[in-house]
Amino acid sequence: MRRVSRLFAIAALALPFALHSAPVAAQQPTTMPPCDGSYNIVRVSEIKPGMMQKFLDAVAAQKEWYKKLGAPDQITVMRVYSRTNGGYSETQALTSHIAPGTQSTPPPHDSGYDAFVALFRASSEIRAEYFTCMK
């Protein structure tokens, strides 16, 4: 139980440069404790009806934004398998955003940032968010 409490304490500190949507992002402080590995932010998102492609477009735009800045961040989306229909869910997805533990300042936000955030907000809502230090 202590590990869970510590995880939530770390989550409360946040990584502002990795937040991509939802009101949760606006409430996050600007620093996290040092990490001797990589930060990883894992989000469980609920996808709005008929918006999976728009959500995937948002992930692609986020990846491209970090790439253009020359940032080493790795952003992935994980489709959730649905046992009920035998295919991938159109209403849930997980994302992972890995950033170096040494990265202390966020890249400046610009119109490209605003564009991918708008796509995420239009297509999904974050249901759970976990901030971790991966070693």
Tokens coding 9: 């304490």
- Residue 41's pLDDT is what? 93
- Residue 80's pLDDT is what? 96
Q: What is the pTM of this model?
A: 0.75
* Sequential DSSP letters for 67-114: HHTT---EEEEEEEEETTTTEEEEEEEEEEEEEETT--SPPPP-HHHH
- Residue 105's pLDDT is what? 67
Q: What phi and psi, each to the nearest 5 degrees, are found at residue 67?
A: -60, -45
Three-class SS of residue 40? strand
pLDDT tens, 85-100?
A: 899 999 999 999 999 8
- Residue 31's pLDDT is what? 73
- Residue 32's pLDDT is what? 76
- Residue 116's pLDDT is what? 97
Positions of the chain with pLDDT under 50: 1-29
